[in-house]
Structure 1
Amino acid sequence: MNADDNLMLWDYAHIRLIDIRHVLFKAGDKPNSYRFPAEGFLYLVRGSAVFRLNGNKHTAERFHILHSGKGGQLDIDWVREELEFYFIFYKASLTLTSGLGVRRLFEKNSPFQRQYEFAPNAPLDLLFQVKKMHRKWLESSLLERIQVKAMLYQFVYEVERQRQANGKDYVKPDLVEQAVRYIQESYSQPITLSSIAEQFNYSVAYVAKQFKNKTGNSLIDFLIRTRIDKAQELLLHTEASLQEIAAGVGYADLSYFIRIFKKTTGVTPGNFKTLAQARVKESDRPKIRLRLSNAGWTERSYIVNEYDNHYQYNREGDSPMYRNTRMSMGAAMLLCLVLMLSACSSGNSSVNSASASTSPAATVQTQTSSPDADPNSLSTRVYKDSQGHEIEIPESPQRIVLQGNSIGDLLALGIEPVGIDRRFIEESVYLDQEKTPAQDIGFPTNLETVVSLEPDLTMLGYAMDKQYEEISKISPTVVFDQNAPLSERLPLIGEIVGKKAEAELLLADYNSKAEAMWNGLRQEGRIAEGETAVVLIYYWDKTMYLMKDGGVPNLLYHPLGYKMSDAVQAIEPAEGAPYIEVSPELMHEMLIGDHLFVMYPADADAEKSFNELLKTALWSTLPAVKSGKVTFVESKWNYDDMLTSSKLLDELPQMMAH
């Protein structure tokens, strides 16, 4: 982001000063971890400290400036000498008159969410300003508060001028990692997608898209999995009642907690505890179990309440912080195990560096360890993945672990992975397609489980943090883009697993059947030339989105299928978002099409809230509703893997007939 864009957004934005606080720590204090309740500056005026902002380590001396967006996590090491600093918190939002270009820039490159730190060239000018602002802020007069707000702009000007003089660049925090930490810290509190988006000052659609792209999973699914994991720990290691456990992991309604627990694990909480106790009694000898699903993130606490800024006001000097940097026993044991495996494998394998090239796949190396061994399983080749890693992988892998949502692609190719994230299959349209159900590797991926499965290839549809480095020590590992269109993704997966020709045949057959389906619907008069369609997806929390992409829209907007109306085509999503949020009062302006397709999850809560919408006058007066051209589609059909896409060709005509 250039300086002019930065200053333009400061000019366009509405700035509200939230708080100015003076903080003092004595030598020997252990400050708590602290999450920025709003956008803000920290100005260190005395002492020095080693601190981490969103995990990035910095060393700060006296007169150091630090800026963070809302939700940024600050950790300060043990205070060795007296430490004094000021917090200046503000809230930035765009005015209603801001144009679309400004709004896109605000969403994508907001300077208010960026982090940076530097030592100013003229620190005393800033010090005098901060002290004066703090003194005025403590005065109760409204006139002084207005004066402080004016002084804030002068302070920002001086900071920006000196930052540019220092040549310091912005660092954009990883939104997904921040959201993961937020959920793991506050899972016991009421959390929604909207509240998380508000916590980090982004739109709901942008947060949802970024989380899905990086993890392959929805943010709400991750929240549920985190809560259920915590509930399992409480069931196994405490005598708390079900009501206490439900409340402790964020579910006030006990019956709903039991339903969601069974939906996630396959058993009720009571049966889970009974089965676990039975397994303990049947064990003849002790076993070492590593619980490493969350080994990459340390648990930290922070203050949350119902108020707008999510923090409690504390008097000067009592800022709530702590940090815990001890490595978990499980993580240490896994590291030892991985290093041993790595050492063993390095002594028994060799990679022909001359065979590595810039092409996606290079020549095959054949190694033979036994006359009776299957030669296909022992042939290897060097493959260059989507992140540029050059890896020696099996020509025809036999034991694949998949991280991501492309399970239907592998099954369509006749590949049964030994390990998957089972949440992507439990609600799928191909639930019964596995001959031998794969082991659940969980989310985040449990490295202990991956080790136990002894894969000869691990495929990552997405990679978080340092996952590649960790998993590649266990088996050959390739990264691919699971969000690429089916026409690009399936041949790529086929190439990785040694079935590229089969993948291309599957795609050709799918395209032929899609043309036949649409030609059949046209011949039956069920779709007219130039007829338009619009797609809406509805969620259990009553949020609705206009869809332009996904498994269902991609089929509907086939060249022989429906057209997208000019009005819908002109509606642009926020930068980085896959679709556009629709409020009930705007349905008539946004859901413009001859035929309306409504996707919804097969969930009791969603069905209940959706039925309420169907009874409203706004819904009943939609043109497509009045003409009877509404088709309801379960949201499980919106995946674009090969198995789901193929089955949708058979199901769509039947759905439209109802």
Structure 2
Amino acid sequence: MSVDNQMALWNEAALRVLDIRRSALQPGNSLRAFRLPSSAFLLANRGRARMVLDGVEHAVEGCYVCHAGKGASLDIVEVAEEFNYDIVYYKASLAFPCRQELLRLYREDNPFRSQFGYAPIYPLSLLTRLELMRRHWQADAQLDKFQVRALFHQWVHEILKQRYEYVDHSGRVLGPLSQIIRYMEEQYAERVSLDDLSSLFGFSSRQLQRLFKSELRMGPMEYMNKIRMEQAQAMLTKTEVSLKEISEAVGYADSYYFSRAFKKHYGISPQHYRSEGRISPSRSSRISIGEGRVRSYSIADDDNHYQYKDEGAIPMNRRTKSMLAVSLMLSLMLFLAACAGNNGGTANGNGANASPSAPASTQPASSAAAETAQQSSYPVTIKHMKGEWKLEQRPERIAVLDTQFVDQLLTLDEQPAGSVTAAGDSSDFPEYLTDKLSDVKVLGTKDEPNLEAIIAMNPDFIICTEFQEKIYDSLTKIAPTVMLNRNDDWRDTLVTFGQIVDKKSEAEQVLAAYKEKTERLKAELATKLAGESVALIRPRDDMIRVHTPLHRTAAILYEDLGLTAPEQVREVQDTAYPISLEALGDVGADHYFLLTDDMFSGLVEEFKSTQTWKSLEPVKQNRVYTVDTTLWIAYYGPIAINKVVDQIGEALLGHS
């Protein structure tokens, strides 16, 4: 029967999995004259034996797949080493009524009773699908049984595809690189590490790196990232799903790291990629078009995760009475705005951000003219996560709902009128900023801003982050509001703040000074360390987190200052990974920056008291430098970043 005819019958058949059995035969044992109770696929995954199906012999070594119909006789003999195999029993029947042509094909050559066997060229494809199917089969829920049915169709498709497309026609035996690439193309949505790939295909990490570099001129994880980015690109252009959903669909637990990886690959942020004509204009207003060099840490793995509530959800004030008061105040403000008629106000380019009009100006004409001259750079368009905002004039009373934005404003010699409080700090605002602040209203916390306090301070501009997504609409009713990605690179955020407060040249000067400072320090460090490696670690939850170059703070060490990351740290495709204290020596760094804070100080001291810690060479050489987690991780503004750079220079060079 031709392949097309066989496929026509498979397509029309009703398929039902009856059982999935896993078995093993030890050397010297055998299985004889076993009658298959139904049609079945047998997949061997390990060992060496001779298998006989209705008198047809199959020499089996390693992975081997075969098929036979109900009543077929199965013998497995001459088992030379432990022989592991799974049998999937199924029933197939044609759904009546059906075309006479199909009935004729079914009677002449029933594919569900046919016998074949071959060594698959992509064994992992079959093994991973079968393992997933078996796991669902063992569960009791009906939903899992339904999933088995869907997975069985995919599994059979892969078996037949490999049989007809590769084995029967081409006779090719593919090399390991093709096998690995095929596996990557199927498993890109999973958290696959370099070690996973190496162990699956029997390589060391170094051998696998060499194989990819010699054939493809890129590393295996770089190639995996290429596959993921191509899939993400298609989803961005063809769907409306959120960035978080896309990042998870292509194997990234952290949407911020996904954004950074996408921009590094394509030179444009995913939000911008979507908004620049690659999707319908009707959607662009709802999608971020900010382009940031994203430094991130997963919310699930965030170093300050204990400060978040409800996994990052932003609950509004839970007291009904307070909510009622807020609603009444908002309604009153909208009513007064409507009564203002043609009075002057802040124009905007986004109807969703409509705000009350300001009272008519009463200042003398000469003062107004002077102010107009100072505001020559306006109007300016601010790109943010909710679209664009056309800012007609310089805002005077700015409310910020993230303390790192306080840092940004103070860098430009500006004062916020109100801010949420600092997370993980004993004072309302970061201690390193308190002497620079004056008369700043407290607006609740980042996780739970106080809408009543925001209304009371009467802002003319609000800057929030995605943490305030749930109250964004309420904020826009108080004042013009822009939403910035809190994990955008601080340099990009500073440029945006320069636009908002008309200090673009000052922002550029800060960036130029930082670049000059880090380049100078980078040269000194290169001379002093001569390639010695540095790692950023933080004990927590009875483990130690090792931060990789993908983490936004670790990037200061490895990118801004050009320090060398240990090989093990470079290989991990995530912002951080956990290890035990006993495995710390395997990281192999020559220097360690040790993050600690009040919450985990006890654990740090416990680790330091162990013999394992004391035996580490960097500990013996006084090359472990203790730094404050809150400053290094929680705050991400220019002032904090410069302090971190100073501390790095002081630790490694002995001076600031």
Q: Calculate the TM-score normalised by the size of structure 2.
A: 0.49
Which structure is larger by alpha-carbon Rg, 1 or 2? 2
What TM-score comes out, normalization by structure 1 length?
0.49
